[in-house]
A and B are shown apart, each in its own frame.
Chain A
Amino acid sequence: MRVEVRGLTKRFGPIVANAGIDLAFEPGEVHCLLGENGAGKSTLMNLLFGVIEPDAGEILVDGRRVEFNGPGDAIAEGIGMVHQHFTLVPTLTVAENVMLGFERTGRFGWLDHRRARADVIDMSERYGLSASPDALVGSLPVGLQQRVEIMKSLRRDAQLLILDEPTAALTPQESEELFRTVRSLRDSGRSIVFISHKLREVKAIADRVTVMRHGQVVGRARPDETENELASLMVGRSVNLVLAKAPAAPRAPVLEVTSLGLVDEDGRSALTDVSFEVRAGEIVAVSGVQGNGQAELAEALVGLRRTTRGTVVLAGREIGGLPTREILLRGVGYVPADRIGSGLIADLPLYENLILDTYHRPPFARGRRLQLAVVKEYAAQLMNEFDIRASSIATPVGTLSGGNQQKVLLARELSRPLRLLIAAEPTRGLDVTATEFVQRRILQARDGGAAIVLISSDLDETIALADRIAVMYRGQIVAVVPPHTSRRQLGLLMAGAGAAESLTDRPSRPAEVLAVEG
Chain B
Amino acid sequence: MRLVSSGEPDEEHRADPRPRSGSPTPETGDSGSITVTLLSLVLAFGVGAVVIAVTDPSVRSAWGDVIDSPGGALTSTWDSIAGAYGALVRGAIVDPSTVSAAARGGSIVAVLAPLSETIVAATPLILAGLSVSFAFRAGLFNIGGQGQAMVGAAAAGFVGFHFGLPPVIHLLAACAAGLLAGAAWGWVPGALKAWTGAHEVITTIMLNYIAGVMLVYLLSLSIFVRPGRTDAISPRVDGDARLPHLMGADLRVHAGVFVAAAAIALVWWLLARTTIGFELRCVSLNEWAARTAGISSGRAWVVGMTVAGALGGLAGAVQLLGTDLAVVPRSGTNLGFLGISVALLGRASVSGTVLASLLYGALQAGGIRMQAATATPVDVVVVIQALVVLFVATPQLVRSLFRRSGDGAELRVATRGW
User: Which A residues fall within an 8 A CB radius of B?
Assistant: 90, 138-145, 171, 173-174, 176-177, 264-265, 268, 270, 289-292, 295-296, 302, 304, 323-329, 334, 336, 341-348, 352, 356-357, 359-360, 365, 368-370, 372, 473-474, 491, 494-496
CA A302 – CA B1 in complex, angstroms?
34
The answer for the CA separation of A351 and B306 in the assembled complex, in Å, is 28
Q: Which of B13, B277, B286, B294 contacts A323 (CB 8 A)?
A: B294
Residue B290 lies at the interface, judged by CB distance under 8 Å to chain A = yes
Cβ–Cβ < 8 Å partners of B6 in chain A: 495-496
Stretch at the interface among B45-53, B75-83, B268-276: B268-276
Q: Let me know if A368 and B14 touch, CB within 8 A.
A: no
- Residue contact A495 to B278, C-beta cutoff 8 Å: no
Chain B residues, CB < 8 A from A329: 294
| Residues of chain A with a CB closer than 8 A to B293's CB | 324, 328, 356-357
Annotate B246-286 by CB proximity to A: 1 below 8 A, 0 otherwise: 00000000000000000000000000011111100110011
B68 close to chain A: CB less than 8 A? no
Q: A residues within 8 A CB of B294? A: 323-329, 357
Say yes or no: A265 contacts B292, CB within 8 Å.
no
> Given A171-B3, A369-B274 in contact, is the A344-B11 Cβ separation under 8 Å?
no
Cα of A138 to Cα of B14 in the assembled complex, Å: 6
13 A-B pairs within 8 Å (CB atoms) are namely: A138-B15, A270-B11, A289-B10, A291-B10, A324-B292, A326-B294, A328-B293, A329-B294, A341-B16, A345-B282, A368-B275, A491-B1, A494-B3
Question: Looking across the interface, which residue of chain A has its beta carbon closest to that of B1?
Answer: A173
Determine whether B162 belongs to the interface, using a CB cutoff of 8 Å to chain A: no
Give the residue name and chain of the A residue nearest to B4 (CB): A141
- Cβ of B291 within 8 Å of any chain A Cβ, yes or no, is yes
Q: A139 to B275, Cβ gap below 8 A?
A: no
B residues less than 8 Å from A290 (CB atoms): 10, 12-13
A176 to B3, CA, bound (A): 11
Please name 6 further chain A to chain B contacts, defined as beta carbons within 8 Å, in addition to the given A140-B9, A341-B20, A496-B7, sorted by A numbering: A141-B10, A173-B2, A291-B13, A343-B292, A344-B286, A345-B290
A345 touches B285 (CB 8 A): yes
A336 and B290 CA atoms in complex are apart in Å by 12
In the complex, what distance in Å separates the CA atom of A326 from the CA atom of B2?
Answer: 41
Find out whether the CB atom of A324 lies under 8 angstroms from the CB atom of B15: no
Q: B206 at the A/B interface (Cβ < 8 Å)?
A: no
Q: By the criterion CB–CB under 8 Å, are A495 and B292 in contact?
A: no
Residues of B within 8 A of A302 (CB): 292
Knowing A174-B4, A304-B291, A324-B294 are in contact, say whether A264-B278 is a contact too (CB < 8 A): no
| Closest-CB distance, A463 to chain B (whole angstroms) | 18
Specify which of A173, A289, A329 lies most central, judged by the most chain B CB atoms within 10 Å of its CB.
A289
In the assembled complex, which residues on chain B have CB atoms less than 8 Å from the CB atom of A345? 282, 285-286, 289-290
Residue of A nearest to B283 (CB): A345
Number of B residues near A (Cβ < 8 Å) is 36
- The answer to the question of B374 belonging to the interface, with a C-beta cut-off of 8 Å to chain A, is no
B296 on interface, CB distance cutoff 8 Å: yes
Is B227 at the interface (CB under 8 A from chain A)? no
Tell me if B289 and A344 are in contact (CB < 8 A).
yes
Number of A-B contacts (CB under 8 A): 124
Closest residue of chain B to A299 (Cβ to Cβ) is: B292
- Residues of chain B within 8 A (CB-CB) of A496 are 3, 6-7
Pairwise interchain contact A289-B4, C-beta atoms closer than 8 A: yes
The answer for the CA separation of A491 and B276 in the assembled complex, in Å, is 48
Give the distance in Å from the alpha carbon of A203 to the alpha carbon of B278 in the complex: 48
Q: Which are the 7 A-B pairs with shortest beta-carbon distances?
A: A291-B10, A325-B294, A291-B12, A141-B13, A357-B293, A356-B293, A324-B294
Residue of B nearest to A265 (CB): B17
Contact check: which of B3, B285, B296 meets A289 at CB < 8 Å? B3
| Chain B residues, Cβ within 8 Å of A140 | 9, 13
Q: How far is the CB of A489 from chain B (nearest CB, A)?
A: 13
For residue A325, which residues in chain B have a CB less than 8 angstroms away from its CB? 294-296
Chain A: minimal CB distance from B170 (Å)? 31
User: Of the candidates A141, A370, A494, which one forms a contact with B274 in the assembled complex, judged by CB atoms under 8 Å apart?
Assistant: A370
Chain A nearest CB: distance from B281 CB in Å?
A: 7
User: In the bound complex, do residue A495 and residue B3 qualify as a contact, i.e. CB atoms below 8 Å apart?
Assistant: yes
Identify the B interface with A (CB < 8 A). Answer: 1-4, 6-17, 20, 273-278, 281-282, 285-286, 288-296
Given contacts A289-B4, A348-B281, contact A142 B289 (CB under 8 A): no
- CB nearest neighbor in A for B273: A370
Please report the C-alpha to C-alpha distance between residue A259 and residue B7 in the assembled complex, in whole angstroms.
22
Distance of A188 Cα from B64 Cα, bound (Å): 75
Max chain B Cβ within 10 angstroms of own Cβ: one of A326, A345, A474: A345
A405 to B7, CA, bound (A): 34
Closest chain A residue to B27, Cβ basis: A347
Residues in A with CB closer than 8 Å to B296 are 323, 325
CB atoms of B292 and A291 under 8 A apart: no
Cα A268 to Cα B9 in complex, Å, equals 12
| B275/A360 in contact, CB under 8 A | yes
**Contact: B274 with A341, CB < 8 Å?**
no
A324 to B9, CA, bound (A): 29
- How far does the Cβ of A175 sit from chain B's closest Cβ, in whole Å? 11
CB distance from B349 to the nearest CB of A (A): 14
Contact between A336 and B292, CB atoms less than 8 A apart: yes
Q: How far is the CA of A290 from the CA of B16 in the complex (A)?
A: 14
In the assembly, what is the distance between CA of A289 and CA of B285, in Å? 31
Given contacts A141-B10, A290-B13, contact A342 B292 (CB under 8 A): yes
Q: Which residue of A lies closest to B13 (CB)?
A: A141
Q: Is the CB of B281 within 8 A of A368?
A: no
- Min Cβ gap B295→A in Å is 7
- Complex Cα distance, B10 from A304, in Å, reads 19
Select B278's contact among A143, A177, A370, A491, beta carbons within 8 Å. A370
Distance in angstroms between the alpha carbons of A360 and B9 in the assembled complex: 40
Contact in complex: B7, A292 (CB < 8 Å): yes
Instruction: Report B-chain residues with C-beta under 8 Å of the C-beta of A328.
Output: 293-294
Q: How far is the CA of A343 from the CA of B292 in the complex (A)?
A: 7
> In the assembled complex, which residues on chain A have CB atoms less than 8 Å from the CB atom of B10?
141, 289-292
Q: Given A171-B3, A324-B291, A345-B290, A291–B11 Cβ distance below 8 Å?
A: yes
Residues of B within 8 A of A144 (CB): 4
A368-B274 in contact given A323-B294, A356-B293, A496-B6 (Cβ < 8 Å): yes
Contacts of B4 in A (CB 8 A): 141, 143-144, 171, 174, 289, 291
Known: A289-B4, A325-B295, A496-B7. A372 touches B273 (CB 8 A): yes
By a CB distance below 8 angstroms, the chain B residues around A494 are: 3
A315 to B292, CA, bound (A): 21
Task: Report A-chain residues with C-beta under 8 Å of the C-beta of B282.
Answer: 345, 348, 356
Q: Which residues of A contact B9 (CB under 8 A)?
A: 139-141
CA A379 – CA B2 in complex, angstroms?
46
Contacts of A360 in B (CB 8 A): 275
